[in-house]
Amino acid sequence: MCLPCKILNDPRGQQIETPLPADSVRPSSSFAVTGVDFAGPLYVKVGREAQKAYFALFTCATTRAVRLELCTDMTTAKFLMALQRFIGRRGLPRTVYSDNA
């Protein structure tokens, strides 16, 4: 068999995809299924002093939309305030996923 015939008749590899999570596939309103993570530190200038700040990153599982909330530190109180602002703007999510960091 010649090389061009061998290339044309060679079976192509098939890629097997894993099934998507049900929360990502099921139609729902935006941010009904939300993932939460922190990003940073980000240095913010307050007056002449640079202070650390962090982002609370909220991602929608169905539309992959992103919402950022600025937090001055990574304490529970600051996260709950960021979550309260997020809920006030986007509504109460049905499910929230976190990496517990």
What length does the chain have? 101
pLDDT digits (tens, 9 = 90+) for 14-60: 788 888 888 778 888 889 999 999 998 999 998 999 999 999 999 99
pTM score > 0.75 for this model?
A: no
Q: Which of 52, 78, 82 is nearest to 67 (CA)?
A: 82
- Helices then strands, each counted (H, E), the chain: 3, 4
**Token pair recorded at residue 39:** 């990003």
Domains of the chain and CATH, by start: 28-98 (3.30.420.10)
